[in-house]
A and B are shown apart, each in its own frame.
Chain A
């Protein structure tokens, strides 16, 4: 605490108390704050001058623990709508809602895992046994029969492109979903139910999720395992997988719509549950080893897909997690998935390669360095598909395709580079933006980050 000048204390001490001391009644009422304003002011004025009365008030005050209890009993007018009784009931109600929603989630999960297991086993006809498929879904075999081999081939091609290009959860997530056509509807209901019942963090963009969903990539690793595993293991793993998905991504109904819009763009992928699952698994076994050429092509692919689905962009939200992770939500903030800028280093390197020259070499180095350690982000800004994210050590990343691909940007102006951490990024449109660092530097760009100016 800052010290006040000594002379102040001296003069404060030497101002004698005016008039008589307030009686015990007034001091009590003052301490209990039940005096009228004018009276209270008079007592306060006396207390400011009289050390004895200050001492009396201080001694008569209840210790902190008792004070609240007495205040509650002393001033019943204060316990209004948000008083303890109401809060207690709200707590009880919240508890009931929480338990109920957990029950619903459990029930849905079981349903889903059954469906998934059935589709898995039916696609692995050679290995599947009746015991591992407790309740086979009739939809899966039908769907399978309905597709011609050539069509399947085409589907596989498109899927391959989409998936290998974007190590991106956006597509990964989508394909995982379409692998199980029966699920989205159920999930949508479940999402709505859970969202409505809990209703705490669901609304509003940019709200940080309480519990971070597990990234879909985990789900794919499991998918990959599934393929190599024996049917028995697959059956064991499958519920696990769907459980993760269910916990991680309860989509809103809006999102389901978006999906159905997108699907014609990639291919007519309706209800080919088992086939897609197989294809997905094959692709996901090596999603990060795609060649640069494929990467670039896929980037275009991704861009076009996203342009086609304006609704998807509309429900895109970006945020920073508590530990500096970059988070993206595809459903207007209902669920959040961590986005890694490093795994996209492959594609950024691919771009750099085509650019050529010294810059490209530097970019390559940067990309390598960045892959090792994930940066701690502190600010993110998105203008449509243009996303900027910055954080500790003045790292600045830019994605022009809603986070499918990232490139590190090094703002420099006449040889100087930003110092400190980037604490704020503001882009007024795709071209004009400014970043602020923790040491107070302000950098601006007027050409989408091509050149920077330090202010």
Chain B
């Protein structure tokens, strides 16, 4: 455990109360994990996810949602228990490779991806002279299998971003547009009222609505994919998008009118932007949302500067 979080009294008493029950459920015994170690693990997990002021009954509810059996298996593996590793490998080895193949879509890259994850799971990283397995960080919030898939996906996204960046730099040089003049602003921000109206309209949406919008329009996910991520039916997403598109348009126009823009002008501003930007963003979406990635978050301005020349080069190659 990297950071030792303060453990509240409520958590301690809740863990103490449920320990016997959870210990039996977890099957820790098989892996030679004592009830004290399980208690320590549970306390750490609860402290990590629950705010300090959580009451004891709430902690109990939380503890019961944990997958203690898989948690025990993962932690036993992390501790180097052989029987635990045997179980882990028979259960997940094949699935892990299959998932890697599905994510990477290519045999060698998939094997590479899966192998590097295995290395992390075995614990090649050393801390204080001891191997630290990535399984140590599994907390049983979701299924172990799902966690493995997520970890693989994270690893893949990280790599993809790195390699993408390299490739695109090469392309820039080859295309000879390295020194191309920076593209004019994607959106003519002449009318700041449009921008602020849009922000206000977006802020009025629920996070789920914004998630659905971003996943569909920015990431280019299919309706089915978005539906699966949110856990609803495809048709629900379709209806939601339809409704959102309409209501956003209406709200933005209304917001602009509040700021003293008359309706025809507001509607025109909205339409003009749509036509102008349609091409650009579709392209930059396909190419750049992935590459933008983590760095962008620290420095959002970088992002725009990075895309501009690349979007330009794309346009030229297609012409």
Q: A2-B246, A28-B146 are in contact. Are A8 and B252 (CB under 8 A)?
A: yes
- The answer on a CB contact under 8 Å between A60 and B146 is yes
Main secondary structure of the interface of A (DSSP, over half): helix
Q: Is A52 an interface residue (CB 8 A)?
A: yes
A50 and B296 CA atoms in complex are apart in Å by: 10
Q: Is B314 an interface residue (CB 8 A)?
A: no
Q: Is B245 an interface residue (CB 8 A)?
A: yes
- The answer on a CB contact under 8 Å between A54 and B186 is no
Interface stretch of the complex, out of B29-37, B83-91, B147-155, B162-170 = B147-155
Q: Is B229 an interface residue (CB 8 A)?
A: yes
Scan residues 217-262 of chain B and give those whose CB is less than 8 A from a CB of chain A.
217-219, 221, 224-225, 228-229, 231, 238, 241-242, 244-246, 248-249, 252
Question: Which of A4, A39, A59 is B213 in contact with, Cβ under 8 Å?
Answer: A4
- The answer on a CB contact under 8 Å between A5 and B289 is no
Q: Is A211 an interface residue (CB 8 A)?
A: no
Scan residues 24-64 of chain A and give those whose CB is less than 8 A from a CB of chain B.
24-36, 39, 41, 44-45, 47-52, 54-64
Inside 8 A of B110's CB, which chain A residues have their CB? none
Q: Is B26 an interface residue (CB 8 A)?
A: no
- The answer on a CB contact under 8 Å between B214 and A5 is no
B162 to chain A, nearest CB (A): 13
- The answer on a CB contact under 8 Å between A8 and B218 is no
- In the complex, residue of chain B having the shortest beta-carbon distance to the beta carbon of A6: B277
- The answer on a CB contact under 8 Å between B208 and A44 is yes
A13 and B229 CA atoms in complex are apart in Å by: 19
Q: A6-B273, A56-B150 are in contact. Are A51 and B65 (CB under 8 A)?
A: no
Q: Is A9 an interface residue (CB 8 A)?
A: yes
- The answer on a CB contact under 8 Å between B245 and A3 is yes
- The answer on a CB contact under 8 Å between B300 and A12 is no
Q: Is B137 an interface residue (CB 8 A)?
A: yes
Query: Number of contact residues on A: which range applies?
Result: 35 or more
A12 and B289 CA atoms in complex are apart in Å by: 12
Q: A13-B218, A28-B146 are in contact. Are A48 and B210 (CB under 8 A)?
A: yes
- The answer on a CB contact under 8 Å between A59 and B277 is no
In the complex, per-residue mask of B280-293: 1 if CB is within 8 Å of any chain A CB, else 0: 01000100011011
A41 and B207 CA atoms in complex are apart in Å by: 7
Question: Which of B150, B151, B201 is A31 in contact with, Cβ under 8 Å?
Answer: B150
| Interface core residue of A11, A12, A45, A64 (most chain B CB under 10 Å) | A11
Inside 8 A of B228's CB, which chain A residues have their CB? 61-62, 64, 67
B interface residue numbers (CB < 8 A to A): 49, 62, 65, 99, 102-103, 137-143, 145-147, 149-154, 156-157, 161, 186-187, 194-195, 198-199, 201-202, 207-208, 210-211, 213-219, 221, 224-225, 228-229, 231, 238, 241-242, 244-246, 248-249, 252, 270-271, 273-274, 276-278, 281, 285, 289-290, 292-294, 296-297, 300
Known: A52-B293, A57-B229. 6 other contacts (CB 8 A): A1-B216, A16-B300, A32-B142, A44-B207, A51-B293, A59-B156
A interface residue numbers (CB < 8 A to B): 1-17, 23-36, 39, 41, 44-45, 47-52, 54-64, 67, 70, 74
A-B contact pairs, 13 of them (CB 8 A): A4-B217, A4-B244, A5-B274, A11-B198, A13-B289, A16-B297, A28-B150, A29-B141, A31-B142, A34-B142, A36-B65, A51-B214, A64-B228
